[in-house]
Amino acid sequence: MNICTKQLRWITYLLQELNQKLTPPIIYNDNSGAVIISSQASLNPNTKHIEIQYQYVRDLVLKKLLTIRQVGTNSMIADALTKPLGIQKVADICKKLHLEIQGGVLK
């Protein structure tokens, strides 16, 4: 999530330089622990081991420059790019992306 956040900030800066009006980007995550930690104003003793680089995400969330939302594992579209999936899961993700599978080929 940290790498994604850094890339989103770069894109945001670029678009702001081009005078584009933006709303804070939303990152969807299926890790409930990461979502909770990124939205807490302070760390508790159980999370003090988290590296400083990951607190960058939390800082942006607290400044309202970024929003983190939890999404169920079955609804995570990004899984198509990161995990081996069965044909039914691929078909479901393609439908969400408005893609069609015809004869084993995406259209």
For 97, residues 6+ apart whose C-beta sits below 8 A from its C-beta are 77
What is the structure's pLDDT at 48? 65
In the chain, domain spans: 2-74, 77-107
Chunked mean pLDDT (size 10), the chain, 107 residues: 88 94 88 78 67 78 89 80 83 84 68
CA dist., res. 16 & res. 22, Å (int): 8
Determine how β-strand 67-70 pairs with β-strand 105-106. unpaired
* CA separation, residue 15 to residues 2, 11, 62, 85 (Å): 20, 6, 22, 34
Determine how β-strand 105-106 pairs with β-strand 101-102. antiparallel
Cα 46 to chain centroid distance, Å, stands at 24
What is the structure's pLDDT at 20? 92
What is the structure's pLDDT at 10? 94
